[in-house]
Amino acid sequence: MKITGIYGGQFFDPLAETLLPCDLLLHDGILVEAGPHLSRQDAAIRILAEGLWFSPGWVDAHVHLFHAPGHLGLPAVPHCLMNGVTYAIDAGSAGAADFAHFHQHILSALPLRHKAFLHCALPGALPTEPGELSSLAALDKDAFTAVSTAFSDEILGGKLRLNPGVCPQHPEQALDEALEMTGQLGLPLEVHPNFAPIPTTVLLNALRPGDIYTHTFHDSSIGILNTHGQIKDSVWQAQHRGILFDTAHGGSSLSFPVMQAALAQGFLPDFISSDLHNGSYPTPVSSLAEVMSKFLAFGLSPAQILHRVTLGPAKALDLKDKRLVLQKGEMTALTFFRFAEGAVSFTDGLGHYKTGLSRFVPVFTLLDGFWYAREPLQTC
């Protein structure tokens, strides 16, 4: 049996939120042994991880992977897997009209784990205006039900965008119909609310536990802050009821002033996610690691950040993947990274800047026995 050993790393355990010295012994990606100071004589291949942290593979809970004409996605391997993401959630790129094509030509070929939200509108998320809900006839309940049922192992829930360029008329009716479409199947609904002409309280009160308010730190009247810069009471109440709040940075869906005010009041999102797509990459978002680094610059601890890209989304979205914890006898999904020290300037894409003093740098990812390295592996 050919054993690979990884030595000298520090393991962040999201269950206990502890950091411990940990060596690994693996056979074809299956964890044989984990612990400090394992014998190097037991391994035929020995990888040196000194100076690196590692954690269960990162989950990007909001990304767009449908890279085809007429869609906004980016290829998953260079943009996710090579940047530490082993589990990617597509945030409604495809609707019932083209999800089968999305599945056959893109999702089924991915080496990384994945799920998807099915857009409630037939054509999926269109990259130009008028958007997919220029007519509410695009909300086809029968088609949504048929596709959700046919791809039930892959589809997590429904997606709805309510910004005026996408849904110029009757956004409350669209919300009601989308809630009905997902509710009859027991699925959550992910709502993109930016600038929708609906009071925040009305929107959040309509959502059910497990539904997702995405683009948490966007800056508009339907956002999470009132005119005095305080978290709205309805937002605190919604989080207490089990509504999930997703970062989803994107191109213009995260405002540093909103983020700073919210974090200062102790309001944290349930997920830290990138919303990578061809309109947000390479600036203001190059990777999930960059979004994580922005939270580091605003004062969150590495433990708070890592929880929101590992166990947090895994539990909230019920991903049921044993590789999201370190478990003997199971295939592994691990992200190895370091902290690069030194001043770095970040932008939110809206003209605001923030200087950080450290950033997450993925070094290599181990998934199902395959290595995805950004730098040459060091042996010992």
Write phi, then psi, for 13 (nearest 5 degrees): -95, 110
CA distances from 349 to 173, 214, 287 (A): 31, 17, 14
CB 20 within 8 A of CB 351: no
- Beta-strand relationship, 212-213 and 58-63: unpaired
Domains in the chain with CATH codes: 4-55+326-339+361-379 (2.30.40.10), 58-324 (3.20.20.140)
Annotate 314-357 with DSSP letters as a single string.
Answer: HHHTT---GGGS--TTSB-EEEEEEEEEEEEEEE-SSS-EEEEE
Residues with Cβ within 8 Å of 320's Cβ and at least 6 positions away in sequence, in order, are none
Is the model's pTM score more than 0.85? yes
- pLDDT tens by residue, the chain, 380 residues: 689 999 999 999 998 889 999 999 999 999 999 999 999 998 999 999 999 999 999 999 999 999 998 899 999 999 999 999 999 999 999 999 999 999 999 999 999 999 999 999 999 999 988 899 999 999 999 999 999 999 999 999 999 999 999 999 999 999 999 999 999 999 999 999 999 999 999 999 999 999 999 999 999 999 999 999 999 999 999 999 999 999 999 999 999 999 999 999 999 999 999 999 999 999 999 999 999 999 999 999 999 999 999 999 999 999 988 777 788 999 999 999 999 999 999 999 999 999 999 999 999 999 999 999 999 999 98
